[in-house]
Amino acid sequence: MDQVNSAVDADVAALPHGRDQGYYDLLSYIVSNAISGEIMAVENYSEMVQLMPDSVSRIDTNQQAAEECKHIRLLSKLARTLGFSVEQRIVEPQWNAIRRHFSTAVRKGNLPACLIIQDLMTETMAIMLYRTLANDADTDGQTGKVAHNILQDELEHLEMGVNRIRGLLETSPDDVHDALVWSHHRVMPELFSMMSTSCHSLCDVLKIDCASLSLEKISTDIDSIRVKALQQYITTLDRCGFEPSVVNPLIASMAAYEGFQAIRVEGNGMACCPAPSAAGKCC
């Protein structure tokens, strides 16, 4: 525990300057949601341990849970250092919905669904978030550094998930593809619905005005984030080796999600198009 706290202290230091309150309100919102995802991950990995087939994989899964705990401490320390408030509990209903679906998979003994939900879907979204904060957005130096360090762990978790799913696909391809379809229709709508600067109750809990939140404060926008998240998800599924005949209809179904008017599937690759911009152009 002391080593974890020392790592947290080393990763978060000086207070940045030149930012307005709107920037810190946005960080409060984003980091609170990130902490919620990390809390859910701790619970998911802890619950999934019982389904892992051997002692090595159980040890690895416990280590993943411990690393998610470290992320919560890093994000909480960042908030204290920069002076914005965060919630260290799950507030938004989407996180609770995903958690319920995961627990259902555990009760059914459906390890592929558990791995897909946590190691692929949730980790893919986490990678998109932390990569944005670390590399693609105009965040302060401390936020960027913390996001970069967490990103490295999440990339490792994703790699573990990809390798686990590849192994299961070799032995039980039909079961794993069924698990993908089951998980996709339950979890992906919840994850993508949180790609917004509006919420059910988090803003009220944080005492900030949802209407005032703007991603322009970090030089990005919702459409760009949605496209990057979708592309990351498609890449993840492709790396696992899922059959295009199963994946393509799932991706096409996401056209109904808020913010997307068209999603194309082209040959063996997949491309996405968000709602057209004011200029009528498509990313």
pLDDT tens digits along 8-28: 454 444 445 468 899 999 999
* Residue ranges per structural domain of the chain: 2-8+19-242
Burial class for 183, CB neighbours closer than 10 Å (0-12, 13-18, 19+): buried
Q: What's the rounded mean pLDDT across residues 148-168? A: 96
Distance, in Å, from the CA atom of 258 to the CA atom of 216, rounded to the nearest integer, reads 20
Residue 95 contacts residue 152 (beta carbons within 8 Å): no
Element (H, E) at 263: strand 260-266
The answer on pLDDT for 136 being more than 90 is no
pTM: 0.86
Distance, in Å, from the CA atom of 38 to the CA atom of 61, rounded to the nearest integer, reads 14
Output the CATH code of domain 2-8+19-242.
Answer: 1.20.1260.10
The answer on pLDDT for 89 being more than 90 is yes
pLDDT tens digits along 101-111: 999 999 999 99
> How high is the pLDDT of residue 196?
82
